[in-house]
Amino acid sequence: MDLVLLGPPGSGKGTQAERLTLAYQIPAISTGEILRAQRLAGTRLGRQARGFMDRGELVPDEVVIGIIGHRLDEPDTQTGFILDGFPRTVAQAQALDALLAQLERPIDAVLYLEIGRQALLDRLGHRHRSDDQPEIVAHRIDVYLQQTAPLIDYYRERGTLRAIDADQAEEVVFASITSRLG
């Protein structure tokens, strides 16, 4: 099963990705985690991404697409994967479609975790990551709304979008996801 988790920062993508990994025995691929690890390790990729991340901006498409392409070549993704945090733009979605077409692996479902802005601000205010400072959080939500929200229409038009009310307890959200996957 090949899945995409779509939703703003703080919507619960990482939490639900972990639960889906356990339930379906497929890896969750978090571009945010990969980028943070590369940044901490001081790699070339980490240095490229650092400035964008510090400003709460999206890392350029070519960097992120390269990460995903490399990761999908690894053996543990052959039975499926969960993309958490990618794609974030329509251009990235189109690049992902092209990559998956080459691999003959279409996306089975795009799980859109819907949640209101105030609930996001409340949730993100309780995390303790360097990119969760109040001004950066507000900017990340704005960036999401401007650049990522068009993906909702993109995937809805393709018939793969499954909207999930993410402003609930994580167990309720997970039950909703699994029921939508069939």
Three-class secondary structure of residue 130 per DSSP = helix
> Cβ atoms within 10 A of the Cβ of 147, count?
16
State how far the Cα of 139 lies from the Cα of 122, in Å rounded to an integer: 15
Active site residue 129: yes
140: annotated active-site residue: yes
Identified catalytic residue from 55, 129, 158, 180: 129
Q: Would you call 88 a catalytic residue per the annotation?
A: yes
Q: Could you give the CA distance from residue 173 to residue 179 in angstroms, rounded to a whole number?
A: 10
- One DSSP character per residue, 16-57 reads HHHHHHHHH---EEEHHHHHHHHHHHT-HHHHHHHHHHHTTP
Residue in 55, 127, 158, 180 annotated catalytic: 127
Q: Which helix (H) or strand (E) segment is 120 a member of?
A: helix 117-124
Catalytic residue selected from 39, 123, 140, 162: 140
The residues annotated as belonging to the active site are 13, 88, 127, 129, 140
